[in-house]
């Protein structure tokens, strides 16, 4: 596992695990918000987390990022597990006994520099994060990816599904889990117009630290490019 500073050394970090990435945000009172709690934690990892602050919020950013929820909620029973309403049913099915709350209370507890964004038209209940600091940082879970290693059997499968080694809209997400592509593209364009990021951090793949806003805008010009591969389609 690895940790990397996102905004400021005392505010936000990413945590890479497997083929995914989590986000840790330390609030002004020392409480931690963990977005997509990572799986495969070891004693040293737990100790590192607890040195950061007190785990208060466990955000399931959609109903697929579930691998660490059981372990994290068991270790931190006082923490609140929160997710968009659309994600609740599958989260409870995959993690029996899990108590899942809505996002409203969590959002109300965030300071002005932390925004937990409900991504509209996402059937699996997608949450993105915007952080304001020396730079504006976006953390996006499944809607936008930047794969860099598509090799072996996994790489072949992903290529058949439309993934490429570049910044792109996730072809599975946009084909199967977006109820209105035109509406979703309009929302992303609006967000980019209002508050474009200086740094883009996907849960899957490579960061963009230079030219993030322009690269993201190119994905949504006139609805964005046609989705490649077997799942391709147009808006």
Q: Where are the domains of the chain?
A: 2-223
pLDDT of residue 8: 56
pLDDT digits (tens, 9 = 90+) for 174-198: 999 999 999 999 999 999 999 999 9
Alpha-carbon distance of 140 to 150, in angstroms, equals 20
Least confident of 13-17, 69-73, 140-144: 13-17
Summarised one tens digit per residue, pLDDT across range 124-139 is 999 999 999 889 999 9
Mean pLDDT of the chain: 90
Examine the pLDDT at 149 and tell me if it is beyond 50: yes
28 pLDDT higher than 50? yes
**Topology of the domain comprising 2-223:** Metallo-beta-lactamase; Chain A (3.60.15)
pLDDT digits (tens, 9 = 90+) for 36-79: 999 999 999 999 999 999 999 999 999 999 999 999 999 999 99
């Amino acid at each position: 596992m690895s940790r990397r500073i996102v905004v400021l050394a005392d505010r936000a970090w990413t945590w890479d695990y497997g083929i995914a990435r989590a986000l840790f945000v330390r609030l002004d009172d020392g409480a931690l918000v963990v977005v997509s709690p990572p799986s495969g934690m070891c004693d040293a990892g737990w100790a590192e987390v607890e040195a950061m602050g007190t785990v208060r919020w466990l955000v399931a950013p959609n109903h697929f990022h579930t691998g660490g929820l059981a372990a994290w909620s068991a270790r931190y029973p006082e923490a609140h597990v929160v997710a968009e309403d659309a994600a609740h049913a599958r989260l409870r099915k995959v993690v029996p006994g899990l108590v899942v709350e809505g996002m409203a209370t969590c959002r109300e507890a965030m300071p002005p520099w932390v925004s937990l964004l409900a991504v509209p038209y996402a059937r699996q209940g997608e949450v993105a994060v915007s952080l304001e600091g020396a730079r504006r940082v976006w953390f996006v879970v499944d809607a936008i990816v930047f794969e860099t290693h598509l090799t072996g059997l996994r790489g072949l499968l992903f290529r058949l599904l439309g993934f490429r080694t570049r910044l792109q809209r996730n072809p599975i997400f946009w084909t199967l889990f977006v109820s209105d592509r035109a509406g979703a593209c309009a929302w992303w364009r609006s967000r980019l117009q209002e508050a474009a990021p200086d740094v883009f951090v996907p849960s899957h793949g490579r960061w963009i630290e230079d030219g993030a806003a322009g690269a993201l805008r190119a994905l949504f010009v006139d609805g964005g490019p046609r989705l490649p591969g077997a799942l391709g389609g147009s808006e």
